[in-house]
Chain A
Amino acid sequence: MDWSLLQYGFMHKALLAGLLGGIACALTGVLVVTMRISAIGICVAHAAFAGALLGILLGAGPLGPAFLTSFLVAGILGPLTDKADVAPDTVVGILFSTMLGLAFLFLGLMTGPRTEALDLFWGSILTATWFDIKVLAAVTAALLLGLALFFKEIQAVLCHRAVALAVGVPATLVYYAMLFSVGAAVAASLRSIGGLLIYGLIINPAAAAYQLSYSLKRIFVLACLFAVGSSWGGLLLATVLDVPAGAMIVLLSTGIFVAATLLSPKSPRAASFLHRLQTAFSGRVSARDKARENTP
């Protein structure tokens, strides 16, 4: 591999975008995976995508409209999915298809080469600008600050929202803030990772981390490591193999998820395998194995 590539400015920016985008996506991914609201997250991601395309169509640039539409959809989804007389799946399904329809409508209305719009589909981390990185840095810093300041409320809402509400935590407010944070992370990462691939980077690292620990703090840290590892690893693989970086990032994160699931200590089968492996390498015999051996 030609390591001299790492000396170029565009590569520095790409690595920074991978670091910041990875952390932002991983943090919001843990929220989405733990609360099992993946469909809502996908819907918000597509809203950002449609908004970005509208921005390009109107000549306003993709970023501002992406933020606006993702916040708008998050603001609609929260109250609507909480309504007792509307099935949440139906609301999400309708909004998701609407956003997809709008995205293709805006794309169809564009004239000319549509390069900028098509870039939003699969992202272009290698062409990330300093402005993109500043936006990503601001969103990531806000997410980290929010997590640090409100960790106990976030944990309560993530793990049992109804309980959190009953004990006096402003659970609904925290939940809506989580939806907005998904929108912000998606909108900020859209240009670097791509509208079709961003969701892989949100879900996969968080889902992999979720398989490996019962500690929420550790899950946040692991998800960030997996996401940044996927971003940087994918970037390097793409450079070596001369393939699209966004695709490699998401495929690598999928590989990490598969490995985490196979080796998950939360899975009884994997835990038993790991226990046998540990025993074999340590040369010790555990009390459990002794008891098993002594059983006639």
Chain B
Amino acid sequence: MTPQGGPHPAPDSAPDGLAVRLDNVSAAYGRHVAMREVCLSMRRGEFLGVIGPNGAGKTTLLTVLNGLARIVGGRAEVLGRPLTPATVGDLRKRIGYVAQLQEIDPLLPITVRESVLTGCFGRVGPLRRVPAAARRRTDELLALVGLTELARRPLGHLSGGEKQRTAIARALLQEPEILLLDEPTAALDWQAQRGILALIQELHERFGLTTLIVTHDLNTLPAVCSRVAYMKAGRVTWSGSPREAVDGARLSALYNIPIHVVRHGGRDHIIG
């Protein structure tokens, strides 16, 4: 396992330094095409924020990158390897995925620690015991995300913010090179939102991750990202610097409602 705080390994990164390259990629669920001809690339170590209205294809973009969605057109390359049914199993082990917050049965027989430990199962592989190093790392990560006290609690008993912290710790146990986060602050209170985003930013820098976050938290996004992309109707319609992303006219066109940007206390605030 990687020493605490050290960068995660990058054994076969792309020679051009790109962690992700999508060329005209389209993806579908059944007969419904949810993402159309998306061209997008991410450099190693980049922190990309993706925003857009509901149904824009943001979650599909994440599921394309970790091989959970069905690609129906174009070419996708992740960590220097083409994303195909043959490579997806290996690539998935190198990509941490924090899904949207979901309801969990309070009676579910799994503790927080067991759930985090799941993160290493793909790398460990079947018919092998979880190594002691992974168990120690689980405890370190639980401490890092502030869940040591809750390690033995059933997963279904946690609050929304605690569940997201568990999911982040689980994704980090994978020792990912890419971290994908799908609305990690949705359905959380204000304090939990700020806490989670600060944690994600800290982890991104500490582990040298390539991070892609999908969120609706427009006010915080520019502060944590190095680049922002807009998505609408299954397409990436714009990408640029966080400063340029906070633009009233541009955001109004994206969401089809009047959006104003107000500067207060040295920061831009977005008002819908």
Using CB atoms and an 8 Å cutoff, list the residues of chain A in contact with chain B. Answer: 34, 36, 83-85, 149-150, 152-153, 155-156, 159-160, 162-170, 210-211, 213-216, 219, 266
In the complex, the answer to whether A166 meets B30 with C-beta atoms within 8 Å is no
Among residues of B, the one whose C-beta sits closest to the C-beta of A85 is B30
With A152-B121, A167-B122 known as contacts, the answer to whether A159 contacts B110 (CB < 8 A) is yes
In the complex, the answer to whether A168 meets B109 with C-beta atoms within 8 Å is no
In the complex, the answer to whether B99 meets A150 with C-beta atoms within 8 Å is no
Interface centre among B66, B95, B107 (most CB of A within 10 A): B107
Residues of chain A contacted by B99 (CB below 8 angstroms): 162-163, 166
In the complex, the answer to whether B110 meets A155 with C-beta atoms within 8 Å is yes
In the complex, the answer to whether B108 meets A169 with C-beta atoms within 8 Å is no
Residues of chain B contacted by A165 (CB below 8 angstroms): 68, 92
In the complex, the answer to whether B119 meets A167 with C-beta atoms within 8 Å is yes
**Docked pose: A225 CA to B61 CA in angstroms:** 47
In the complex, the answer to whether B93 meets A150 with C-beta atoms within 8 Å is no
Residues of chain B contacted by A219 (CB below 8 angstroms): 109
With A159-B109, A210-B107 known as contacts, the answer to whether A167 contacts B127 (CB < 8 A) is no
With A155-B114, A167-B118 known as contacts, the answer to whether A266 contacts B30 (CB < 8 A) is no
In the complex, the answer to whether A167 meets B109 with C-beta atoms within 8 Å is no
Residues of chain B contacted by A211 (CB below 8 angstroms): 107
With A85-B30, A152-B130 known as contacts, the answer to whether A167 contacts B170 (CB < 8 A) is yes
Can you identify 12 A-B contacts, CB atoms within 8 angstroms?
A: A84-B32, A85-B29, A149-B126, A152-B118, A156-B121, A167-B92, A167-B93, A167-B97, A167-B120, A168-B122, A168-B174, A169-B118
Residues of chain A contacted by B106 (CB below 8 angstroms): 266
**Docked pose: A71 CA to B153 CA in angstroms:** 37
* Closest chain B CB from A292 CB (angstroms): 22
* Closest chain A CB from B119 CB (angstroms): 5
Kindly identify which residue among A152, A168, A170 contacts B123, using a CB–CB cutoff of 8 Å: A168
Residues of chain B contacted by A215 (CB below 8 angstroms): 109
Q: What would 19 more interface pairs be, CB under 8 Å, given A150-B126, A167-B93, A215-B109? A: A34-B108, A36-B105, A152-B118, A152-B121, A155-B110, A155-B118, A156-B118, A164-B121, A167-B118, A167-B119, A167-B174, A168-B89, A168-B122, A168-B123, A169-B121, A210-B107, A214-B109, A214-B154, A266-B107
With A166-B99, A167-B174, A168-B89 known as contacts, the answer to whether A84 contacts B121 (CB < 8 A) is no
**Docked pose: A142 CA to B157 CA in angstroms:** 34
With A155-B110, A266-B107 known as contacts, the answer to whether A167 contacts B68 (CB < 8 A) is no
Among residues of A, the one whose C-beta sits closest to the C-beta of B89 is A168
A-B contacts at CB below 8 angstroms, number: 92
**Docked pose: A36 CA to B105 CA in angstroms:** 10
Residues of chain A contacted by B111 (CB below 8 angstroms): 214
Interface centre among A83, A153, A168, A266 (most CB of B within 10 A): A168
**Docked pose: A165 CA to B95 CA in angstroms:** 12
* Closest chain A CB from B38 CB (angstroms): 19
B64 at the interface (CB under 8 A from A): no
Residues of chain A contacted by B167 (CB below 8 angstroms): 163
B115 at the interface (CB under 8 A from A): yes
B155 at the interface (CB under 8 A from A): yes
Among residues of B, the one whose C-beta sits closest to the C-beta of A211 is B107
In the complex, the answer to whether B122 meets A159 with C-beta atoms within 8 Å is no
* Closest chain B CB from A150 CB (angstroms): 6
* Closest chain B CB from A277 CB (angstroms): 22
Q: How many residues of B contact A (CB 8 A)?
A: 38
* Closest chain B CB from A212 CB (angstroms): 10
Task: Determine the main DSSP class of B at the interface with A.
Answer: mixed
* Closest chain B CB from A101 CB (angstroms): 28
B31 at the interface (CB under 8 A from A): yes
Residues of chain B contacted by A84 (CB below 8 angstroms): 29-30, 32
**Docked pose: A176 CA to B30 CA in angstroms:** 20
**Docked pose: A83 CA to B92 CA in angstroms:** 21
Among residues of A, the one whose C-beta sits closest to the C-beta of B28 is A84
Provide the B155-175 mask, 1 if CB < 8 A to any CB of A, else 0.
Answer: 100000000000100100010
In the complex, the answer to whether A163 meets B109 with C-beta atoms within 8 Å is no
In the complex, the answer to whether A210 meets B109 with C-beta atoms within 8 Å is yes
With A160-B118, A167-B118, A167-B121 known as contacts, the answer to whether A85 contacts B31 (CB < 8 A) is yes
**Docked pose: A90 CA to B155 CA in angstroms:** 31
With A85-B30, A152-B130, A214-B154 known as contacts, the answer to whether A168 contacts B107 (CB < 8 A) is no
In the complex, the answer to whether B115 meets A166 with C-beta atoms within 8 Å is no
**Docked pose: A34 CA to B121 CA in angstroms:** 20
**Docked pose: A213 CA to B31 CA in angstroms:** 42
**Docked pose: A49 CA to B90 CA in angstroms:** 41
Provide the B114-150 mask, 1 if CB < 8 A to any CB of A, else 0.
Answer: 1100111111101100100000000000000000000
**Docked pose: A177 CA to B153 CA in angstroms:** 29
**Docked pose: A149 CA to B126 CA in angstroms:** 8
3 closest pairs, A vs B, by CB? Answer: A168-B122, A85-B30, A168-B93
